[in-house]
Structure 1
Amino acid sequence: MFKRNKPKHSQRARISTPDPDAPPAHEEKGGEEAEESPIAIAAKLKKKTKTRTKPKTTLSFGGEEEDEGEAFKLKKGVLSKKLTLSKSAGVAPTELDIPQLSTGPTYDAAHLSQLKASTPSARPPQPTDSYDADVSMDVDSPAQLSALSAIADDQGETAIPSASSILAAKQKRERIRSNKGGDDYISLSLSKRDDFSQGPHPESRLMREDDELGDAADEFAEYTSAQERVALGKKSRKQEAQKRRAEMNEMIVDAEEEDEETKEWEQEQLRRGGLREESVEPAAKPMYKAAPIPPVTPIPTMGAAIARLTQSMSELTTSHAQHSASLSKLGEEQRLLEQRETEMRDMIAKAEEKRSWFSAFREWMESVATFLDEKYPPLEKLEEEHISLMKERAEMIAQRRRAEDTDDLALFLGTPPSLQPQAEEVDDLGRTIPSANSPAARANRASARDARRVRRRAANQQRKAEEEQGYSTDASLPPGDADDYRTAMGRLLADAKDIMADVKAEEFKDPSVGLAKWFGEWRTKFADIYTGAWGGLGMVGAWEFWVRLEVLGWNPLERPRSLDSFGWYGSLYQYSRPAEDDEEDEPELGPDGDLVSAMITTALIPRLCRIIEGGGLDPYSAKDIRRLVDLAEEIEVSVDKQNQKFELFLKSVYTVFDAAVTETEMALTPFLELNQPRFDPQAIPARRRFLTRRHKLLRNILQWRKYAGDRYGLGNLATRLVASSMLPVAESGWEVGGEDIMRKVAQALPAELVPPSLKSLRI
């Protein structure tokens, strides 16, 4: 990727050993060069070193073949010319010369004689002129070696110094080097060694090519990032990026360019290495060749032709049958594919229709949820108000009934200390504050009771006065309170209508138009999803609001009304039976089953339980018990008697009866503990009235037990009422009416519920 711009370094020339048979070098250059001393040579070397330039890359393509034309000539410097040896001297070729291929060394007689004559047999005499052995041993260049060889040849013999002389010369040289200030020391180097880097081997006198030319830090600075600068600013970084892209583009362009000289050199090296053929022989010229004459073919006979045609016909018939079968199979596959495509298209259309319908259904249900979130709070508030009104009315009746029982008990058992009349209290204006148990209050209650009895007698002349004494539990309110109660109930019903006053959409006013329509479409179009998701129960949960709104303010024991008279009952009945059969009187139920029973279980029974426990049921009223039994039988038609919600309904009724018995026991306990009867003409009718009220409560409990069974201990409750409340009071006046009433009680009770003390009265 990176192109080398500078020339390659030339290899260092190999120092060749002078041949003793070769003519001295000083004969070629003249007598003046032969007589040059080592000092003169060193001066010349110093002068030439200053003007030395970097060697240039030289290429040698050889010139061994004579048929290649003119050989390439290498230009050499003055110093290289001094190292050039004559070809006739027989010296070893340098690295630049191409070695001649030879099979091996030759040892003929002429060569051996010449070699023996050139080998010295004795030590040469010492030179007479001034020859410095130290200088001669320090050969710094090939030029000095050539000069020394020329001096030795001029003396006539080759001088080989002995080992002792070499050692002495080395020691002298070392002493002179250690004392550079002497006059006899002449340095052969042109510069001090300390001025340059010593390299990895500072003790060695040999110089590497890298040390001579430098460490190439400046030469290759552009490749080693030595000249790079870190850009800190935004503008400088942008310029550096542009410069880097330009350099990369330039390198790519340089890499794509072809250097003709380099390509020619590579091809020449391939040719010299034998990797490429010298020449390619031209292809032989095509010669004309006549077409061969086909052999003679005999004329086919009729039988062979018929047999061949028959075989071809059978093969064609078989192939046609196979192709026909393949076509039939492909046609059937195409038909199936088209049918499958049609089915897939239908599935896609149905899926899209299903998605769009459910998307609209989800949006509508979200609007219904928003509507219910807004309307449920006022509905629940009105339901609580209705329960509070019934509780207030029931508490008023129960309080008046407790006051009457207290007055009757005080007449025949005496007044306990806690109920003694207190002194009259006077307020700040001097008015007397009436006391609850004062004689005046008792007289007022008695007169009010007599007035109500007169009104009832006038309304029903067929009932005897005796039967009304005690059997009439006085469950009616005074005229003023009754009017207030009717006014409050009317205001409650008006508020119930105001809940839907701002609703204009018919599908929100009538659930049979909205809920029944959407859920009916869901059941018709996607029956499997509707059944799996229990869509009917979901619709019942959403329809519950309209059912509770419709039954708001309704007390089934005060205003008897059948369930099928409500609008929600008929709508759910029709929705649960979508397919009507003319042959059958009763339509068949749909996949949801009877949703009327689900609605009664979900919404109606919990509401009835709250009404009964909130004061809607009067345990002393036989009329309420008859209506309650009718309501339970109507609910039982739709809901199983073993259903958990129906069990809650039965438990609510038991709770009301248990509260009445407990209240009687609590009211009777202080009087029984006192038990101080006094002579009073009103004591006998008072005891009869008290026992008659309890007898009526017992009859209501037994009547409800006859329908509901002995659940939650209704039988034990009846036995407890007789043993703890009625029998002690009857024994206090057994001869004056107590025996007669207890005989009626014993006959009304089932045999298993009669206390042991009353079994004799059943005879």
Structure 2
Amino acid sequence: MAESPVMFKRTKPKHTQRARISTPDAEAAPTIGEEAEVEETPSAVAAKLKKKSRAKTKSTLSFGGDEEEGDGEAFKLKKSKLSKKLQLGKSSIGVPPSAFEPTLARPSTGPTYDAAYLSQLKASTPSARPTLPIGEAYDADVSMDVDSPSQMSALSTIAGTAIPSASSILAAKEKRDRLRKSTAGEDYISLSLTKRDDFSQGPHPESRLMREEDELGDADDEFAEYTSAQERIALGRKSRKKEAQKRRLEINEMIVDAEEEDEETQEWEQEQLRRGGLRPESAEPAPKPVYKPASIPPVTHIPTMAAAIARLTQSMSELTTSHAEHSAAMSKLGEEQRILEAREKEMRDMIAKAEEKRSWFSAFREWVESVATFLDEKFPPLERLEDEHLSIMKERADMIATRRRAEDEDDLMLFLGTPPSLRPQSEEVDELGRAIPSANSPQARANRTAAREARRVRRRAVNQQARQEEEGFSTDAELPQGDEEDYRIAMGRLLSDAKEIMADVKAEEFRDPTVGLGKWFGEWRTKFSDIYTGAWGGLGMVGAWEFWVRLEILGWNPVERPRSLDSFSWYKSLYIYSRPSEADEEEEPELGPDGDLVSAMITTALIPRFCRILEGGGLDAYSASDIRRLVDLMEEIEISVDKQNQKFELLLKSVHTVFSEAVEATETTLAPFLELNQPRFDPAAIPARRRFLTRRYKLLRNLLQWRKYAGDRYGLGTLATRLVGSSMMPVAESGWEVGGEDTMRKVAQALPPELVPPSLRQLRAA
């Protein structure tokens, strides 16, 4: 707690009756002439002073009566500061007043210093020092004895002419100490009115030096209220509050006391000033005012008409100029007021729009968060079903590829021999002892041939065109009836599972993206188009709409089941959303700020999905119908997506991967037979070679048809040349006269001129 400052409280003076203290000494003071006449001995003067000091002091009270010294404390008259200043300013007798102090006119009671008196005083004053008698020696002890006037005069003479020695001073001190200790001595004159034994001698009684604290005390009791000796530090909350209130009250009292004027005190001070001569006895009356007549103005001439007209003209011009300036200022202020009002209106509109924007975006944010929660919950089952669809298609493609490879091996063994790796081994038995049929056993080959003949007969009975096709030219991509039935059941189950994803969704804005996404993003584009365009709101909507697009195309193979893109509901919805402006029936509406969102959806959702389907077994390189449907699909996609688009390039690369895998599979199957190359005489060898070359010729035609659309990207021409040189030419040369030449002539005619190998150029020319 900070120490509070010391507050000196002014005590209000008591209004007591003051009485003038008589000064008899002044009245009884002898004149200079009387002092010259009266002569007293030193012993008489010392006895008189000693008797006076032992007498009881009496104080004369202003209200009468005497009070003894031993009865109590003497009464002290309190005077104001002004009276003290007057008391201190009074000059002592014989001291001339200061030049700055006013002199008082007092009655003269002393001698008159005229010329005769001054001459007499000068004649009686000795001009030389008195000399000691011859033969008298100075004794310090004798000189300190002032029993006779002659000794006193001698002492004064010696003191004025010579410096006493140390021994004389010590003897005088010892004599003075003896006289001080002796109370009966009449020649000892005490300088104090009280005895020394009446007070405390202090810690060093033998010393004549007295410390200030021994003389005046430690002032703890006298100045206690100014030194905070009696102040107590408040520790409690209530005590601190009480001390603060007390301190405020004391301050207020001091302020009131300082502002209060005591009339009696002022009257007394004024009276003291008057008595001291600092204020005149009576104020002189103020001089009476002397009448002074008003001065007569100088004669003015009567103004002329021309001067008046000129003055009026000048005033009129000044007023006109001032009026014009004021009018311009008023018009300027009016224009500024209109501008400020327009700005105020704009600011109000901006505030209203900002509040509307804030509320709308707050609701939009809540809705977007709900959509994000919905997609987080529904996307995992959708992706699981997409993977399941790919696995079903891959399983079907593997079954067809395995059967086609087995048929090719059967045909190759008929006209090139059986390689050691494909020769039937000893019969293997299972755990129950049953024989496991070998894939290359004669019985297995006979079963495959019978199944192939049955499929061919069934296809020719249904399709008239298949009757005209030569053997080996058909796609031969049908599954057996049991496998085909399993495939249809699996696809039906996949589609039913896709419907179950949205079975628990009841809100229409989540079931139909047009009601939810189309509505909210459409309002955003309409109300805040600048923010919508800067934030690429259309692409954001496409990213959210992708779930419903992928759900709608789930289970669809664009090669197996041809269907145009505009037949889907998402295509129509995005097409309408991308063209918000209305147009005539004959003209197509213009695109909005988002551009064609259909193209964005195709590149974002459809092309990556198509790439996975084609590479996962959805496209059969030996099927001409698949290639035709694929070309149609690519042309439809090309309407919305540029060929130079990176996503479109990925789709072309996926198709190239399918053809490359087909060529590599042919080379892998043919390699062990070409190494063996042991033809044998078999009537079935000639149709077998023809069937093998016809399948490769169909693969080449499909490859060339795709190259015609896609161009020579990713080395499609090189791949076609590789198929002819590494797979078809060796087989055709082994039976050139029995069908190889005819097949290779067709190949030379089908190949573009730049892709025809040198060995086939003669056949092309023929």
Cα distance change on mapping 1:129 and 1:635 into 2, 3 Å: closer
Name 1:523's counterpart in structure 2: 525
Give the drift of 1:359. Answer: 3.0
Counterpart of 2:649 (choices 647, 650, 664) is 647
Residues 619 and 626 in structure 2, CA contact (< 8 A), matched pair in contact too: yes
Q: Distance in 1 between matches of 2:434 and 2:11?
A: 136
Instruction: After superposition, give the CA deviation of every residue in 1:281-340 in whole Å (9 maximum; x if it has no partner).
Output: 776677888989999999989888888777776766666565555555554444444444
Picking from 552, 557, 560, the partner of 1:558 is 560
CA contact (8 A) 2:417 2:678 kept: yes
Contact kept, 8 Å, 2:733 with 2:740, in 1: the verdict is yes
Q: 1:699 aligns with which of 698, 701, 704?
A: 701
**1:258 maps to what in 2?**
257
Per-residue deviation at 1:472? 2.2
Partner amino acid, structure 2, of 1:561: R
In the alignment, residue 437 of structure 2 is paired with which amino acid? P
1:626 maps to what in 2? 628
**Structure 2 residue identity aligned to 1:121:** P
SS at match of 1:581: coil
Task: Give the residue type in structure 1 aligned to 2:639.
Answer: V
Match of 2:441 in 1: 438
Over 3 Å counting, the alpha-carbon distance change for 1:194 and 1:715 in structure 2 is: farther
Say which SS state the counterpart of residue 619 (structure 1) adopts: coil
Q: Which runs of 5+ in 2 are unaligned?
A: 1-5, 13-31, 57-68, 106-112, 183-187
* CA–CA distance in structure 1, aligned partners of residues 328 and 281 of structure 2: 67
Aligned equivalents of 2:285 and 2:495: distance in 1?
A: 123
Q: Structure 1, residues 170-221: CA drift from partner, whole Å, max 9, x if none?
A: 56799999xxxx99xx9997599994489xxx99x65565663145455555
| Letter in structure 2 aligned against 1:34 | A
Q: Which residue pairs with 1:394 in the alignment?
A: 397
User: Using the alignment, how far apart are the partners of 2:659 and 2:587 within structure 1?
Assistant: 42
Q: Higher mean Cα deviation, 631-640 or 354-363?
A: 354-363
Match of 1:480 in 2: 482
Instruction: Answer yes or no: is the 8 Å Cα contact 2:102–2:278 preserved in 1.
Output: no
Provide the C-alpha distance between the structure 1 equivalents of 2:650 and 2:441, rounded to a whole number of angstroms: 43
Please give the root-mean-square deviation of Cα atoms over the aligned residues, in Å: 5.3
8 Å CA contact retained: 1:407, 1:442: yes
- Cα drift, residue 572 of structure 1: 1.6
5+ residue gaps, structure 1: 8-19, 66-70, 75-84, 137-147
Which residue, out of 460, 463, 482, partners 1:460?
Answer: 463
**TM-score of the two chains, using structure 2 as the length reference:** 0.75
Q: Which residue of 2 aligns with 1:408?
A: 411
Rounded Cα–Cα distance in structure 2 between residues aligned with 1:404 and 1:418: 16
Contact 1:619 1:697 in 2 (8 A): yes
Shift of 1:532: 2.5
| Paired position in structure 1 for 2:692 | 690
1:574 is the counterpart of 2:576? yes
One-letter code aligned to 2:477: A
Q: Distance in 2 between matches of 1:607 and 1:269?
A: 122
| Cα distance change on mapping 1:660 and 1:37 into 2, 3 Å | same
Deviation at 1:742, TM superposition (A): 2.2
Query: How far 1:655 sits from its partner (Å)?
Result: 1.1
Cα separation, 1, equivalents of 2:580 and 2:695: 52
The residue type paired with residue 215 of structure 2 is: E
Alignment deviations for residues 318-372 of structure 1 (CA, whole Å, 9 cap, x no partner): 6656555555555444444444444444444333333333333333323322222
Residue 546 of structure 2 aligns with an amino acid whose one-letter code is E
Spell out, residue by residue over 1:84-131, the C-alpha distance to the aligned partner (whole angstroms, 9 max, x if none).
x9x7xx676999xx99799xxx99965983895498534697899976
Q: Shift of residue 3 of structure 1?
A: 1.2
User: Aligned letter for 2:462?
Assistant: A
Matched-pair contact (CA < 8 Å) for 2:141–2:168: no
In the alignment, residue 241 of structure 1 is paired with which amino acid? R
Equivalent position of 1:589 in the other structure: 591
2:745 is the alignment partner of 1:746: no
Residue type of the alignment partner of 2:734: S
Aligned length: 699
Aligned-partner Cα distance in 1 for 2:489–2:328: 93
Structure 1 residues 311 and 176 mapped into 2: Cα distance closer, same or farther (>3 Å)? closer
Alignment of 1:138-153 (within 5 A): none
Range moving further from structure 2, 323-332 or 110-119: 110-119
Residue 616 of structure 1: aligned partner: 618
Deviations, residues 594-626 of structure 1 (Å, cap 9, x unaligned): 221111111111111111111111111111001
Say whether 1:113 aligns with 2:122.
yes
The answer on whether the counterparts of 1:544 and 1:603 sit within 8 Å (CA) in structure 2 is: yes
Task: Tell me which moved more, 728-737 or 278-287.
Answer: 278-287
CA distance in 2, matches of 1:432, 1:357: 76
Question: Within 1, Cα distance between the matches of 2:277 and 2:365?
Answer: 88
The 2-side partners of 1:746 and 1:576 are apart by 50
What is the match of residue 46 of structure 2? Answer: 34
What letter corresponds to residue 699 of structure 1 in structure 2?
Answer: R
Query: In 2 relative to 1, CA 28–483 (structure 1 residues): closer, same or farther, beyond 3 Å?
Result: farther
2:8 corresponding residue in structure 1:
3
Written as runs of structure 1 = structure 2, the 5 A alignment for 1:71-470 is 113=122, 116-117=125-126, 120-122=129-131, 155-159=152-156, 160=158, 165-169=164-168, 190=197, 195-196=202-203, 207=210, 209=212, 212-216=215-219, 219-220=222-223, 236-238=235-237, 240-258=239-257, 326-464=329-467, 467-470=469-472
Name the SS of the counterpart of 1:582 in structure 2: coil
Cα deviation for residue 559 of structure 1 reads 0.4
Summarize deviations over 1:205-251 as a string: whole Å, max 9, x none: 655656631454555556556666777xxxx4335523531442244
Which residue is 1:728 aligned to? 730
| TM-score, normalised by the number of residues in structure 1 | 0.76
> Does structure 1 retain, via aligned residues, the 8 Å contact 2:202–2:214?
no
Letter in 1 for 2:614: I
Distance in 2 between residues matched to 1:650 and 1:638, nearest whole Å: 16
Aligned counterparts of 2:554 and 2:278: Cα–Cα separation in 1: 113
8 Å contact from structure 1 (residues 271, 278) kept in 2? no
Letter in 1 for 2:166: L
Q: Is the alpha carbon distance of 1:27 and 1:354 closer, same or farther for their aligned partners in structure 2, counting shifts above 3 Å?
A: farther
